[in-house]
């Protein structure tokens, strides 16, 4: 019995231990962290949600971290770039400043001729219609300046870049820019001069040809155009007082005073004409001796004193015919007398016109001088074989003696004249005497 009880207690004890061990194993299995020991549905539900949240949290953290690192790197790079830019900017400013300072100092020295102590004289040749570049290059070539760019800048700032004259100038190498420009804009330093002698009796066209031949004039057409214009009326009263300018070939004919002149090579036609007209005006008011008068008078005053029925322009027209027709000084006063006599002759004298060969082909000297474009039937507006009285204006540019003869002709009864082949004059009072003279000299 006792043995039975002991065996029974032992059996109970073993069963109790197995039960506890079973519960312990179940508890351990239930509390285990191993996902494989859990039920599939609970494990899957719990794992998906947790992983998504975990991944999202880790992504946000990673993104924020990466953004912080990128911003930090960008700030570092920008800071480095700004530092490099500041250095480059500073270097550029220093270089530009140095170059500008050097340019200004060098240019100012050249402008003021500080770096050009040489006072030797050189010839500088400026062509017709020069540009600023051409002038600057020529000045550098001849050693007058050293900085072409600075000279051009100065000329533009002072508005002197388009006023340069053509010609050959003598300039010193130590001139400042303003002195150089002043000399190149005027004629005071020019050396390319030519001397031209205009002979009494030359016409405007012949004077133009002479000027071209002597290289004083390059543009003949422009010269002739100006001689036919009213451009000089405001400066000279003797031109302004001409009433019939529209009837003339050249308004300035008669007023380009014959003399010896000095012009510049290829001179400006306007300058040439002003020199002629100024000389005529000077001679017009210069006192001189006239035969029969014990005092000196100017041509202008003599016209008033003689109470002439002709004005200055008419006197110049008569003088031009006298100059063209007379053989010598003495002959001038006889020819003038005949012209005056014919202009005032009564109808019964049979001299209703001047009938002078010198006027027949004007502005050309003779028939053989007519241009091909004139044609065989050329008719001059100045032809005194058909005109009554004086032609519209002078036919050439008379000298002083012819003007005096026009003012104070000899007192004669002659109405005709002619010359032999040697230039000897013959005068006649009637047509019969004249025809006899013509027969004699043949």
Band of pLDDT at residue 428, cut at 50, 70 and 90: very high
Class of domain 193-283 (CATH, top level): alpha beta
The span from the CA of 358 to the CA of 317, in Å, is 12
Lowest mean pLDDT segment, chosen from 29-38, 42-51, 245-254 = 29-38
Residue with tokens 């008033």: 304
The answer on pLDDT for 20 being more than 90 is no
Band of pLDDT at residue 117, cut at 50, 70 and 90: confident
Start-to-end CA distance of the chain, whole Å, equals 211
Instruction: Pick the most confident of 75-79, 92-96, 226-230.
Output: 226-230
Task: Give me the helices (H) in 220-373, please.
Answer: 220-227, 237-240, 269-284, 299-305, 312-325, 329-343
Please tell me the predicted confidence (pLDDT) of residue 102. 67
In the chain, where the domains are located: 74-191, 193-283, 285-442
- Is residue 161 helix, strand or coil? coil
Band of pLDDT at residue 48, cut at 50, 70 and 90: low
Band of pLDDT at residue 43, cut at 50, 70 and 90: very low
- pLDDT tens digit sequence for 255-275: 999 999 999 999 999 999 999
The answer on pLDDT for 118 being more than 80 is yes
- pLDDT tens digit sequence for 277-321: 999 999 999 999 999 899 999 999 999 888 788 999 999 999 999
Write out the DSSP string of 174-227.
T--HHHHHHHHHSSTTB--EEEEEPPTT--HHHHHHHHHHTTSBS-HHHHHHHH
Q: Is the entire prediction scored with pTM above 0.75?
A: no
Residue with tokens 């043995």: 3
pLDDT mean across residues, the chain? 87
The mean pLDDT value for 42-66 works out to 68
The mean pLDDT value for 358-375 works out to 91
Lowest mean pLDDT segment, chosen from 75-84, 90-99, 219-228 = 90-99
Compare 197 and 164 and report the one with higher pLDDT: 197
Compare 102 and 169 and report the one with higher pLDDT: 169
Band of pLDDT at residue 393, cut at 50, 70 and 90: very high
Q: For residue 141, which of 160, 166, 124 has the smallest C-alpha distance?
A: 124
CATH code that applies to domain 74-191: 3.30.1490.480
Q: Do domains 74-191 and 193-283 have the same CATH topology?
A: yes
């Amino acid at each position: 019995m006792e043995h039975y009880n002991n065996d029974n207690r032992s059996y109970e004890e073993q069963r109790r231990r197995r039960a506890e061990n079973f519960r312990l194993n179940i508890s351990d299995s239930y509390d285990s962290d191993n996902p494989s020991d859990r039920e599939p549905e609970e494990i899957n539900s719990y794992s998906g949600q947790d992983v998504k949240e975990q991944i999202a949290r880790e992504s946000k953290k990673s993104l924020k971290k990466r953004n912080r690192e990128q911003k930090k790197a960008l700030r570092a790079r920008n800071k480095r770039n700004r530092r490099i830019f500041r250095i480059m900017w500073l270097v550029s400013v220093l270089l530009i400043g140095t170059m500008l300072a050097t340019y200004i100092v060098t240019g100012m020295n050249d402008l003021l001729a500080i770096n050009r102590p040489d006072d030797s004289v050189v010839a500088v040749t400026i062509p017709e219609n020069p540009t600023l570049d051409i002038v600057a290059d020529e000045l550098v070539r001849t050693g007058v300046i050293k900085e072409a760019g600075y000279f051009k800048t100065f000329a533009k700032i002072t508005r002197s870049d388009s006023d340069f004259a053509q010609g050959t100038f003598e300039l010193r190498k130590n001139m400042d820019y303003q002195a150089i420009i002043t000399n190149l804009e005027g004629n005071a330093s020019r050396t390319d001069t030519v001397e031209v002698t205009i002979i009494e009796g030359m016409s405007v066209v012949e004077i133009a040809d002479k000027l071209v031949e002597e290289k004083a004039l390059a543009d003949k057409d422009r010269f002739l155009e100006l001689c036919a214009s009213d451009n000089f009326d405001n400066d000279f009263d003797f031109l302004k007082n001409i009433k019939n300018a529209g009837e003339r070939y050249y308004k300035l004919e008669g007023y380009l005073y014959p003399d010896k002149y000095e012009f510049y090579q290829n001179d400006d036609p306007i300058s040439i004409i002003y020199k002629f007209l100024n000389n005529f005006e000077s001679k017009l008011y210069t006192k001189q001796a006239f035969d029969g008068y014990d005092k000196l008078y100017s041509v202008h005053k003599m016209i008033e004193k003689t109470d002439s029925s002709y004005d200055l322009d008419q006197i110049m027209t008569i003088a031009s015919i006298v100059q063209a027709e007379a053989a010598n000084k003495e002959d001038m006063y006889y020819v003038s007398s005949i012209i005056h006599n014919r202009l005032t002759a009564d109808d019964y004298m049979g001299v209703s016109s001047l009938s002078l060969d010198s006027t027949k082909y004007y502005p050309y000297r003779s028939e053989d001088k007519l241009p091909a474009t004139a044609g065989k039937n050329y008719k001059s507006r100045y032809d005194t074989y058909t005109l009554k009285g004086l032609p519209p204006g002078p036919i050439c540019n008379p000298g002083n003696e012819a003007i005096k003869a026009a003012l104070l002709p000899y007192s004669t009864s002659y109405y005709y004249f002619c010359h032999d082949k040697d230039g000897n004059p013959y005068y006649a009072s009637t047509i019969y005497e004249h025809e006899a003279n013509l027969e004699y000299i043949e």
